[in-house]
Amino acid sequence: MGGVIVLLVVIVLVLWVLASCIRIVPQAYAVVLERLGAYKATWSTGIHFKVPFIERVARRVNLKEQVVDFPPQPVITKDNVTMQIDTVVFFQITDPKLYAYGVENPIMAIENLSATTLRNIIGDMELDETLTSREVINTRMRASLDEATDPWGIKVNRVELKNIIPPAAIQDAMEKQMKAERERREAILKAEGEKRSTILVAEGKKQSAILDAEAEKQAAILHAEAQKERMIKEAEGQAQAVLKVQQATAEGLRMIKEAGADESVLTLKSLEALTKVADGKATKIIIPSEIQGIAGLATSLKEIMTDKPAEQK
């Protein structure tokens, strides 16, 4: 009975030893193997076997990109302002062997290295430059940390400044400055708006005056055109009237001539024409000498004709 128990114990021990010699490495991980305390190999993803009691797994390494958020570190700027800055480091293990044997505590080493590097960078900058140069600080820190951690098998991909916390007095001064700046911008915007409004009003008045002047000009042109048309029509009417009078006179003379009128009749017609002329507004009438004698004869005949009826009475 005792021999059976011993046999079972031996079998269990053998199975346990065999199981411990089989290792499966998952994706994105690596295993550092040692033989008799010395580095033997680095196992990648897959199944692996080791010699019992001689070889052992020294370290299981995560090959994924890792993020470490370090607590705020006190730093002093070039103009002697103390502030708190906390950083976030993104890194990845590229060589498991160097990571296992390069440094005792890699995360602590990165934290201390980032703190000293940050102090060196911020010490060369003033407060205002520090607050506005995050990208510059991130780039310089990443380059410095990547170079320093390369012997440890670590690659620093990114470094970000999470928070920059200046002293309370500096924060109050910055808030007052920002408030004053906002008020100044508001005043400038208000003045620009008033200026723009004044310009628009002036432009409107100018355009209105131009339109009024243009309207008056067009009205004057239309009035002048109308006056011109009216005068042309009046002149044409007068010309038509004169033409008709001349045509009538010529027709009368032609009829008198065809009727065989002698010189006396023509003279009487001339006297009638003079009578009509005398009815006008002319102040002077020039009578030809030939007609004056006949006019006197006509006057004498008129007097004789007037006297005869009186005698008969």
State pLDDT tens for residues 158-200. Answer: 999 888 888 888 778 778 888 888 888 889 988 998 888 889 8
CB 144 within 8 A of CB 165: no
> What pLDDT shows up at residue 274?
52
- Taking each helix axis from N to C terminus, what angle separates 263-278 and 289-312, rounded to the nearest 10 degrees? 90
Q: Which residues of 196-213 are buried (b: 16+ CB within 10 A; e: fewer)?
A: eeeeeeeeeeeeeeeeee
pTM exceeds 0.75 = no
Alpha helices (H) in the chain, listed in sequence order: 2-20, 96-102, 106-122, 127-132, 134-149, 168-258, 263-278, 289-312
Q: 294: which 2 tokens?
A: 């006949």
Alpha-carbon distance 57 to 40, whole Å? 10
* Angle ∠(100,105,107) on CA atoms, nearest 5: 105
Any long-range contacts for 227-233 (C-beta under 8 Å, 24+ apart)? Answer: none
> What pLDDT shows up at residue 95?
92
> What pLDDT shows up at residue 17?
75
> What pLDDT shows up at residue 302?
46
The ranges of the chain with pLDDT < 50 are 277, 282, 291, 294-295, 297-298, 300-305, 307-313
Q: 87: which 2 tokens?
A: 């950083």
